[in-house]
Amino acid sequence: MDPVFGLEGKRILVLGGGQGMGEATVKRIVEQGAHVAIADLDPDRAEKVAKAVRESGGTATAIGVDVLDDAALVGAIANVEANFGPLDGMATVIGMAGWASLLDLELDTWDADQNRNLRYFFVAAREVARSLLKRGAPGSIVCVASVDGLRSAPNHAAYGVAKAGLVHLVKSMAVEWSGQGIRINCVAPGGIITPRLPDRGPEGERKTMEKVPMQRRGTVDEIAKAITFFLSDLSSYVTGQTLAVDGGFMAANLFNVTLPPKNTVMGAERA
């Protein structure tokens, strides 16, 4: 572990830590000496990750929780703090998109996307912040949004709106809480290889990512590195920010970049 991270002995809750970005985040912060509480909808999945941490010499506990149940989520956080110890930080990676055009979007899908991408984070972050403030302790909270919260999200607008809400909420939380030592930041992934979106092979990946400057999808470990940065002392003066981890996608001009004819200015021929 590297002392520059300042994570040794810190207790971190990872919501959605049983696979994918969450599991990768657990591995990264454990490498830096953090003690980890792994929460997942599937308790067996969480326990599998926790067991691997313990077998490697780290400290981890597992808990099953449905983050869409407000009371269960609040209770799970209280249970972690009572039995594992007071938290120093939290990372949340849970999210899912419903797909439909705006004209066909059902209100149930709209509500589901707000709940599973935005609402649960508000509930969880508020509980962790209340605990930190009560103890007068500093802390770091990190959520995962999406580049689709930074640009349009055609055919999954409810998801994009919820992720945009995360970006805004992080700013508001930062303004209210950072003066008391609680930093709040956000990671916005681009195209990432995950258990739900597996590698499509070299040719499939090349065709789908040809407009991305780095011409590939990212890995869950690359998202975990960004989350670890925000949880750690490396970002000690960073709060209220959203970092796009997207291979340059948001920086790219995805329109036609063919050069205009020589001597053409704003569509008019130069005399």
Catalytic residues, which ones? 159
Q: What are phi and psi of 182, to 5 degrees?
A: -105, 115
Cβ-based burial of 131 (10 A; exposed 0-12, middle 13-18, buried ≥19): middle
Alpha helical stretches, state H, 115-257: 120-135, 157-177, 201-208, 220-231
- 240, two tokens: 């209220």
Quick one: which of 197, 114, 187 has its CA closest to 144?
187
| 139-144 sheet: strands from edge to edge | 60-64, 35-40, 11-15, 89-92, 139-144, 182-189, 242-245
Extract the tokens encoding 217.
């999808």
Closest CA to 28 of 222, 182, 190: 222
- The three-state DSSP-derived secondary structure of 195-233 is CCCCCCHHHHHHHHCCCCCCCCCEEHHHHHHHHHHHHCH
Helical packing angle, 157-177 and 120-135, nearest 10°: 10
What is the β-pairing status of strands 264-265 and 268-269?
Answer: antiparallel
Helix (H, G, I), strand (E, B) or coil at 157: helix
- Of the candidates 150, 159, 141, the one whose C-alpha atom is nearest the C-alpha of residue 243 is 150
